[in-house]
Amino acid sequence: MLNNNIQCLRYKVDAVNYLLSEENCDIAFITEHWLSQDEMQHLSFSKYVVADDFSRLSHTRRLTDNSEKGNRPEIVNWKSLIVPRKAKNSFSNFHETILEHFNTIFPEKRQLFDPKKSKVRNYPVINSLKSKLDAAHTIWRVRNDDPCLQLYRKLKNRYKNAIDQEVKPTNHSYIANHTNKSRAIWQVEKYAGEYFNV
């Protein structure tokens, strides 16, 4: 995709054709604000088709026309600006083309495993204990009293014991039974922080 602004495009068609052949792109956006609709229809570029254009009906010299506001000339005659097609349709066509090229260049990768169904990670008892432990920690931080601290320590010990009873043996058997032990170790390591960082 090429995006370029070129001044005096009517004199540089050969240079633009050379640039397009060198870049070898599928889509080119070229802006040139001096050309009128009639002048744009006479331009042709090699191997490219003009999909859409936007221009003034007529060329006005030095961006002024005969109408005046007060004592100064009006810079742009807004009545002379036109859009040949509806902007929404033009944008949807442009968006579909870009999306198609993007999906071709960057295809979506298939997920290797679902973390929610993974045996390495899915322990309902430990997950509920972890949420209770987080809540107790927050309450202790807010209240900052001894009973909340005792509750937090009690839940922390229960949580660590649950990890020793459920997670560690399952992880060891998962690694031992896996054909690719290195990958299994990294999968266990990837989710270990959820359980052991208390």
Span 143-191, pLDDT tens digits: 989 999 999 999 999 988 888 888 778 888 888 888 888 888 887 777 6
Same domain, 78 and 156: no
Same domain, 155 and 101: no
16: CB partners within 8 A, 6+ apart: 6, 9, 30, 45
| Span 45-49, average pLDDT | 68
End-of-domain residue from the set 73, 105, 137:
105
Answer whether residue 163 is part of any domain.
Answer: yes
Question: 28 φ, ψ to 5°?
Answer: -130, 130
Maximum CA extent, the chain: 88
Q: How far apart are CA 32 and CA 19, in angstroms?
A: 16
Same domain, 7 and 78: yes
Res 78: pLDDT: 47
Q: Lowest-pLDDT range, 39-48, 58-67, 100-109, 137-146? A: 58-67
Same domain, 42 and 93: yes
Share of the chain above pLDDT 70, in %: 50
Answer whether residue 32 is part of any domain.
Answer: yes
Same domain, 90 and 54: yes
Answer whether residue 117 is part of any domain.
Answer: no
End-of-domain residue from the set 41, 76, 105:
105
Q: How does residue 86 score in pLDDT terms, banded at 50, 70 and 90?
A: low
Same domain, 136 and 75: no
How high is the mean pLDDT of the chain?
71
Give the domain range for residue 16: 2-105
Same domain, 97 and 128: no
Same domain, 67 and 98: yes
Same domain, 99 and 140: no
Answer whether residue 112 is part of any domain.
Answer: no
End-of-domain residue from the set 105, 139, 164:
105
Answer whether residue 111 is part of any domain.
Answer: no
Same domain, 134 and 190: yes
Res 72: pLDDT: 47
Q: How far apart are CA 21 and CA 165, in angstroms?
A: 67
How many domains are contained in the chain? 2
Q: How does residue 53 score in pLDDT terms, banded at 50, 70 and 90?
A: low
Same domain, 67 and 128: no
Same domain, 142 and 58: no
